[in-house]
Amino acid sequence: MELYDILIKRRSIRAYKNEPIPEEKLLKILEAARLAQSATNRQPWRFIIIQDAANRKKIAELCTGNKWAADAPVILAGVAVDTNYRMGNGRPASDIDLSIALTQISLAAVDQSLGTCWIGSFKYDEAMHYLKIPKDNLLVGFMTLGYPDESPTAKSRKPMEEIIFHEFWDE
């Protein structure tokens, strides 16, 4: 599949078929994250693969308003490590780097005929404790992964004129 076809086809999927993901597909998708760019190539990410039904159910309960997530055969927890590193502009790099890696996961999933949905609404402290993530790391978000059992239509996007400026900010 061509890159722009993948970009056009990607949707947030909230309904999944009860079908396991073959290990080779899962590893190929995670390879996309491993290859992601990061500030000074620090690769400040770790991914927890959650496949056990009871664990997926618990994570879904911790994801406020997202109980459907338990139906995905895989939930990935994206964890930022090396969280004290700051880019030259003073901003922390790990959240941005992890977001890039998760985006690459979502695009690689489409290429493998799978769907994803980013979940950023969750009970942070409880999820950190449940997943036994050391406190010096940050749980940035969850991403569901599986074979889509829905075909959402494309959502409207803002026109190009509304999202870009040339040379300077201009409203």
Confidence of residue 144 (pLDDT cuts 50, 70, 90): very high
What would the mean pLDDT of 41-52 be, rounded to a whole number?
Answer: 97
Domains of the chain (ranges, CATH numbers): 3-163 (3.40.109.10)
Give the burial string for 117-131 (b: 16+ CB within 10 Å, else e).
bbbeebeeeebbebb
pLDDT tens digits, one per residue of 50-61? 999 999 999 999
Residues 109 and 131: their CA atoms lie apart, in Å, by 24
Q: What is the average pLDDT value for the chain, to the nearest integer?
A: 96
What would the mean pLDDT of 145-161 be, rounded to a whole number?
Answer: 95
pLDDT tens digits, one per residue of 7-26? 999 999 999 999 999 999 99
Position 171 scores a pLDDT of 72
Position 1 scores a pLDDT of 82
What would the mean pLDDT of 33-57 be, rounded to a whole number?
Answer: 97
Position 170 scores a pLDDT of 86
